[in-house]
């Protein structure tokens, strides 16, 4: 599972190769599903309809075969990301991404540590 702080952008990336050679000109896409309510990201909001979002080829000369999609999330949650390529070299890959409020988590841990320390004295 990939861990991200809320409000940051997660770069979802994939390198497409065949026989150890980078493959350009493919058309991979992502489907992003939110675990809490089973809604799908359509590029701007979460909706009931499954939506494929096109990935961008980074640079066919300097990073051939590398494709990405930038996903920013302001709320905490778990998201299943399915990467699929329907081009010449077909594949499907799933990965989980979790967004958490790191500052709030750090505050909770500090409070917990202080409480434990207080019990020890």
Strands 53-54 and 17-18: unpaired
Show the low-confidence residues of the chain (pLDDT under 70): 105-110, 112-113, 116, 121
pLDDT in tens, 62-77: 999 999 999 999 988 9
- Would you say the C-alpha torsion 26, 27, 32, 38 has a positive or negative sign? negative
Q: Please answer whether residues 53 and 62 qualify as being in contact, where contact means their C-beta atoms are separated by less than 8 angstroms.
A: no
Q: Which domains does the chain have, with CATH numbers?
A: 2-120 (2.60.40.1940)
Q: pLDDT (tens digit, 9 = 90+) per residue, 88-98?
A: 899 999 999 99
Chain-centroid distance of CA 37 in Å reads 17
pTM higher than 0.75: yes
Structure tokens at 81: 């990301």
pLDDT of residue 26: 93
Q: Which two tokens stand for residue 37?
A: 């309510």
């Amino acid at each position: 599972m990939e861990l991200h702080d809320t409000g940051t952008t997660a770069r979802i990336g994939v390198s497409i190769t065949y026989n150890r050679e980078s493959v350009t000109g493919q058309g991979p896409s992502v489907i992003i599903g939110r675990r809490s309510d089973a809604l799908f990201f359509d590029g701007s909001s979460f909706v009931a309809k499954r939506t494929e979002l096109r990935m961008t080829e980074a640079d066919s000369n300097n990073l051939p075969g590398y494709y990405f999609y930038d996903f920013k999330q302001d709320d905490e949650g778990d998201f299943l990301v399915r990467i699929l390529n329907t081009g010449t070299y077909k594949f499907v890959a799933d990965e989980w991404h979790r967004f958490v409020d790191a500052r709030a988590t750090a505050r909770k841990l500090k409070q917990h540590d202080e409480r434990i320390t207080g019990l020890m004295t």
